[in-house]
Amino acid sequence: MSLEIVSQARCFGGTQYVYRHQSEATGTAMRFAAFVPPAAETEPAPVVWFLSGLTCTEENFTVKAGAQRVAAQLGLVLIAPDTSPRGEGVPDDPDGAYDFGLGAGFYVDATQEPWRAHYRMASYVGEELPAAIAGLLPVDVSRQGITGHSMGGHGALTLALKNPGRYRSVSAFAPIVSPLDCPWGEKALGGYLGPDRAAWRAYDSCALIEDGARVPDILVDQGLADGFLDTQLKPHLLEEACRRAGQPLTLRRHEGYDHSYFFIATFIEDHLRWHAERLG
C-alpha cells in the first residue's frame, strides 16, 4: 500500500498529516488523519486511535479536539480514520438520513446488500489500516490504544472487546454502549447485518461483556446535558453489564456537558494520559 499526503502542517513540534490511500477492505479510496509527535522522529511511538461519530470525517477530531499538544508531550501518534467509505458507487441511505450510510459506517462489516461490498469498517479500522501504517509511519503497533466518540465510542469498545490483547487501553466519550437497545443501533445493525438480532451481539459492548469478552479496564466520560443520553447512549447499561461481569469500568458523569466537541476537548487530556500510562 502507498499513502498519498493530502496535507501536512507543523504542530507542537510534530506534524499533522492527512493521508489518502486505496483500501482493499472497503474497495474505495479512504482518508485518515495522523499526528506524528516529535518523539517519533527518533523511534517508533505508541499509537492511539480515535474513532469519530455520526456525520463526521477524519477532520472533526483533528481540528476540534485540541489533542495534539498533549499527544506531543506524551509521545503519542494519533490516528483518526474516516467514519465510512465514500465515493462514486458507494450506496447511501435512500432518504438521505444522517444516521445510516455515508458518515455512518458504525464500525461493522456489513453482510447485507447493497452495503456488504464497501461497508467493512471493522476490518478496515481493526486490521487493514494498522497493518498499513506499521510499515509506513513511525508507529509501534505492539502498543495500541483506542478511543472514540458516540458511534466511534461504540466502535472503540467493540473492537477492543472483540480483539483481546490487540489494544492495551480503551476509552470512550459518550459511547453508544448497546446498539441492540437504541434507535440508532437498531437501524444501523438491522440495515448492515439483517434482521437476526443474534448477529448483532458481536457489535454490542454490553452483549460482548455478557458473552465473556474482557479488557483490562475501560474509561468512559459522559455529559449529563447530552441530548442523546436517555434515548441513544444509555451508559447505565454498560455500568450494569460491567458490574455483573466484574469488568473494571471507570464511568465519569459530568453535569452541564453535552454531546459536542467542547465536551471532548475538555476531557481529551485525561484520556490521552490514561492511554499513555497503559502504553508505556
Residues with active-site annotation: 150, 226, 259
Task: Residue 81: name the closest of 138, 15, 147, 176 by CA.
Answer: 147
Q: How many other C-beta atoms lie within 10 A of the C-beta of residue 237? A: 17
- Supply 32's cell numbers: 485518515
The partner residues of 251 in beta bridges, in order of sequence, read 220
Distance CA 21, CA 13 (A): 26
Spatial neighbors of 97 by CB under 8 A, at least 6 apart, are: none
Straight-line distance from the first to the last Cα atom of the chain, in angstroms, rounded to the nearest whole number: 29
> Starting at the edge strand that comes first in sequence, how are the strands of the sheet with 139-148 ordered?
4-11, 14-22, 29-36, 77-81, 45-51, 139-148, 169-173, 218-223, 249-254
DSSP string, 203-225: G-HHHHHHTT---S-EEEEEETT
Q: What are phi and psi of 110, to 5 degrees?
A: -65, 145
For residue 46, give the nearest of 78, 69, 68, 14 by alpha carbon: 78
* CA dihedral sign of residues 146, 147, 148, 153: positive
CA distance 85 to 191: 16
Q: Is 67 helix (H, G, I), strand (E, B) or coil?
A: coil
Cell 474509561: give the residue.
Answer: 219
